[in-house]
Amino acid sequence: MRPTGKLHIGHLVGALENWVALQSEFDNYHLIADYHALTTNLDTSDLYQNSIDMIIDWLAAGIDPQKSPVFRQSQIKEHTELHLVFSMLITTSRLERNPTLKDQIRDLNMESVIYGHLGYPVLQSADILLYKGDVVPVGEDQVPHIEITREIARRFNTQWGQVFPEPEPKLTKFARLAGLDGNQKMSKSIGNTILLSDSPEEIQKKMRTAVTDTLKVRKNDPGRPDVCVVFSYHKKFNSPEVPEIRSGCESGALGCVDCKKNCSTKIADTLAPFREKRAYFESRPNEVIEILNHGESRAQHVARETMKEVRATMKIG
């Protein structure tokens, strides 16, 4: 995950819950992709603090650093070394065909693409294969990158000898949460988020701005819950009441103000244990740094072993 600072409820639903669940099934590695952040923003002044804020959110969400190392990509030099080797195994035209890149160019209104941005799926392949990852928990938009990773692994194994697995994507069940403004994507850069660290009051305040059914103008107008962002949040955070909310909205018995208040309360209640854990780690910065150092030394050990094998297989060791 790129270090974007404090995380929002879309991250919880789209990634963190999945990661936490997978901890009991797999040996997980959690990478803070700080070099990846440079592909779209060269300002590094907040990079470290954003990484720390993000780790605190991970820990508060239930990532167990004893089981699953957390570490920064920039601190494990082997990522950049393997990236270099992998960059010899893929053509620029293959990278230009990457649909995720095309979407980013459109969304960010980019006139041209820097070399590092074009090649970021190659760096991502190194991030995955350095740890010989065989399963990668991703959203739909990242599946093309896993395909590139598989192609690079295959190409390496055919060219020099078997080293890498061909990883499979593992899609999240509830892949995406819409933003408060109705945008399909909840994103800090759009400004349509509820942060995991928001207080109940902040959640109430933000929820007042949420887009509902535009045809439900007055309280007793019948509404269409399936086009309403608030209803999608109820589905995630308040599932037992969903049938009642649907019928109240459709009949006009339920007004949007009450519906939003209820939704805010349910989200705030769900996040209460998270906020408590977050406060614990926030007040113990040394403990967080120790966790990070420990994760980095564990990741480093695995990365070194893989690179030794890579160099030996390529006969450049």
Give the residues lining the site for ligand SF4 (CB under 6 A): 212-213, 216, 223, 225, 228, 230-231, 245, 249, 254, 256, 259-260
Which of residues 195 and 254 has its CB atom nearest to ligand SF4 in the complex? 254
Shortest Cβ 271–ligand SF4 spacing (Å): 20
d(C-alpha 262, C-alpha 268), whole Å: 10
Which of residues 216 and 278 has its CB atom nearest to ligand SF4 in the complex? 216
Which of residues 79 and 260 has its CB atom nearest to ligand SF4 in the complex? 260
Which of residues 208 and 308 has its CB atom nearest to ligand SF4 in the complex? 208
Shortest Cβ 242–ligand SF4 spacing (Å): 10
Shortest Cβ 182–ligand SF4 spacing (Å): 11
Asked if residue 136 lies in contact with residue 128, where contact means CB atoms within 8 angstroms, the answer is: yes
Shortest Cβ 226–ligand SF4 spacing (Å): 9
Which of residues 222 and 317 has its CB atom nearest to ligand SF4 in the complex? 222
d(C-alpha 63, C-alpha 30), whole Å: 9
Q: Which of 316, 156, 174, 170 is nearest to 232 (CA)?
A: 174
Asked if residue 64 lies in contact with residue 55, where contact means CB atoms within 8 angstroms, the answer is: no
Which of residues 153 and 254 has its CB atom nearest to ligand SF4 in the complex? 254
| 208-230 core/surface letters (b: 16 or more CB in 10 A; e: else) | eebbbbeebeeeeeebebeebbb
Which of residues 213 and 296 has its CB atom nearest to ligand SF4 in the complex? 213
Asked if residue 192 lies in contact with residue 7, where contact means CB atoms within 8 angstroms, the answer is: no
Q: For residue 27, what are its two tokens? A: 């040996």
Shortest Cβ 6–ligand SF4 spacing (Å): 26
Which of residues 196 and 259 has its CB atom nearest to ligand SF4 in the complex? 259
Q: CA triplet 56, 62, 66: central angle to 5 degrees?
A: 85
Shortest Cβ 191–ligand SF4 spacing (Å): 20
Q: How far is CA 239 from CA 40, 126, 234, 244, in A?
A: 37, 39, 6, 10
| 139-152 core/surface letters (b: 16 or more CB in 10 A; e: else) | eeebebbbebbbbb
Shortest Cβ 206–ligand SF4 spacing (Å): 14
Q: For residue 112, what are its two tokens? A: 């041209």
* Three-state secondary-structure class, residue 88: coil
Shortest Cβ 213–ligand SF4 spacing (Å): 4
d(C-alpha 134, C-alpha 167), whole Å: 4
Q: How far is CA 142 from CA 123, 186, 232, in A?
A: 14, 16, 23
